[in-house]
Structure 1
Amino acid sequence: MRKSVERQQGAVLIVTLVMLLLMTLIALASMRGTTLQERMAGNARDQSQAFQASEMAQRQAEAFALTRSVTDWQNTAQTANWTNADALTDLPNQSRFRINPTPGVNPLRSGDGLQVIPLDVSVLRIETQGAGAATTAGAGSASTANVTINTIFVRR
Structure 2
Amino acid sequence: MKNMNYRKKIGSQRGMTLIVGLIMVLLMTVVGMAAIRGSGMQELMAGNMRDRNLAFQSAEAALREGEEVLTGATIPAFDNTVTGYYAAIDGSTSTGYWDTYNWDAGSVRTDIGVKKVASQPQFVIEEVVSTTTINAADGSAVDFASSLDTEDTVFYRVTGRAEGGTADAVVILQSTYKR
Q: TM-score range by the shorter chain?
A: 0.7 to 0.9
State whether residues 156 and 177 of structure 2, in contact with CA within 8 Å, keep that contact through their aligned partners in structure 1. yes
* CA-atom RMSD in angstroms: 2.7
Structure 1 residues 79-117: Cα deviation after superposition (integer angstroms, max 9, x where no partner):
633101111343222210001012534444335749696
Gaps of 5+ in 2: 87-105
Q: Which residue of structure 1 lines up, in the alignment, with residue 78 of structure 2?
A: 76
- Comparing both structures, which one devotes a greater share of its residues to strand? 2
Is the counterpart of residue 132 in structure 1 residue 137 in structure 2? no
Match of 1:45 among 27, 50, 66: 50
Q: 1: CA distance between counterparts of 2:111 and 2:30?
A: 50
1:8: how far off?
Answer: 1.9
TM-score normalised by structure 1 residue count: 0.76
Q: Which letter does structure 2 place at the counterpart of 1:131?
A: E
Is the counterpart of residue 12 in structure 1 residue 17 in structure 2? yes
Paired residues in the alignment total: 144
Query: Do the aligned partners of residues 68 and 7 (structure 1) sit closer, same or farther apart at CA in structure 2, a change above 3 Å counting?
Result: farther
Spell out structure 1 runs of 4+ moving beyond 3 A.
1-4, 103-108, 110-118
Identity of aligned residues (%): 28
Q: 1: CA distance between counterparts of 2:148 and 2:67?
A: 26
Q: 2: CA distance between counterparts of 1:9 and 1:101?
A: 87
Q: Secondary structure at the match of 2:118?
A: coil
Q: Which letter does structure 1 place at the counterpart of 2:170?
A: N
Match of 1:99 among 125, 142, 146: 125
Query: Do the aligned partners of residues 124 and 117 (structure 1) sit closer, same or farther apart at CA in structure 2, a change above 3 Å counting?
Result: farther
Query: Do the aligned partners of residues 43 and 108 (structure 1) sit closer, same or farther apart at CA in structure 2, a change above 3 Å counting?
Result: farther
State whether residues 129 and 154 of structure 2, in contact with CA within 8 Å, keep that contact through their aligned partners in structure 1. yes
Q: Which letter does structure 2 place at the counterpart of 1:77?
A: D
Q: Which letter does structure 2 place at the counterpart of 1:95?
A: P
Query: Do the aligned partners of residues 122 and 116 (structure 1) sit closer, same or farther apart at CA in structure 2, a change above 3 Å counting?
Result: farther
Is the counterpart of residue 123 in structure 1 residue 125 in structure 2? no
State whether residues 76 and 103 of structure 1, in contact with CA within 8 Å, keep that contact through their aligned partners in structure 2. no
